[in-house]
Amino acid sequence: MSKRLDLLRLGYTFSVLVPCLLAIYLHNLILWDYVDIIFGFFFYAITGNTLNDVLDAGDPEEIETIERIKGFTWKEILSISILSFIFGSMLFIRTIIENWINGVVLFIIIVLVVIYCFQKRIPIVNQIFLGVSHVFLPYLMIKIDSGLTPIIDPREWFLMVTFFAFAFTGQIVHEAVDGDAITLFSLKTQQIIVIISSIATIGVGIAAIVVLQDIYFIPFCLIPIGSIYVFRKAERPKPGVKEVGIVLGNIILLYFLVLIVIKLYAS
């Protein structure tokens, strides 16, 4: 059972679910009204994870992937990816019928993720693609589905940039540990990129707290300090750093769920 769950990499689904919960929390929306979109992205996350493994399976340097998919053929993994995509797509039908623009947004997300899977060896650009497809656009779909206007309030941009920079930094650290695209740069350059993006996250995050007047976003100004500490020296971070990041991402997921429930019962 554990091996089957490892194949799906459910621990990574937070990356696309948190932005959905963020939109619900920030605009005092009812969680149950958007459960189809949330689980649609859950299935899409599985699709992306398994498709990524299919493409990485032929690379002898992808030791972690090869170990994870041991016992499965690429066709079996691809079938899981396709079925997850179909199930996820079905859950998006309601919002696309009610808001056709969400169909366009979803199409853009799919295109960006597919491009990432095939071109993830391009540093920086791949992180931008992931940030847009995993942070900005899922948030946007919830906002569009809610019917609130404007689609993006000027104040929200501070929060969007904060979470984009947060996700960007996390992906850089992830790649540095795995020896992926970002390692095409020197260790010193990697260090500079992480420190700059971390400082930017802290700065914009503080601005977002002031503008939105919400103290619950304070932790997101503190977390990047950990990235700065990890990259205080120009050296490759230890594997445990990535695992801590995944655990932290899931803690953030639970954090927003709690905040949403608190607001739900307080209203």
> What residue ranges do the domains of the chain occupy?
2-266
pLDDT of residue 36 exceeding 80? yes
Provide the whole-model pTM. 0.91
Average pLDDT of the residues in 180-209: 88
Write out pLDDT tens, residues 68-95.
777 788 888 899 999 999 999 999 999 9
Q: What is the pLDDT of residue 171?
A: 84
* Confidence category of residue 267, pLDDT binned at 50, 70, 90: low
Query: How far is residue 30 from each of residues 27, 213, 257, 267, measured CA to CA in Å?
Result: 9, 21, 11, 11
When mean pLDDT is compared across 15-24, 25-34, 100-109, 127-136, the lowest value belongs to 127-136
Q: What is the pLDDT of residue 87?
A: 97
Residues 242/173, Cβ–Cβ less than 8 Å:
yes
Q: What is the pLDDT of residue 251?
A: 95
When mean pLDDT is compared across 27-31, 71-75, 119-123, 209-213, the lowest value belongs to 119-123
Average pLDDT of the residues in 152-179: 84
Q: What is the pLDDT of residue 112?
A: 92
Average pLDDT of the residues in 205-231: 90
* Confidence category of residue 258, pLDDT binned at 50, 70, 90: very high
The vertex-65 CA angle with 63 and 70, nearest 5°, equals: 95
The DSSP element (H or E) to which 82 belongs, if any, is: helix 74-98
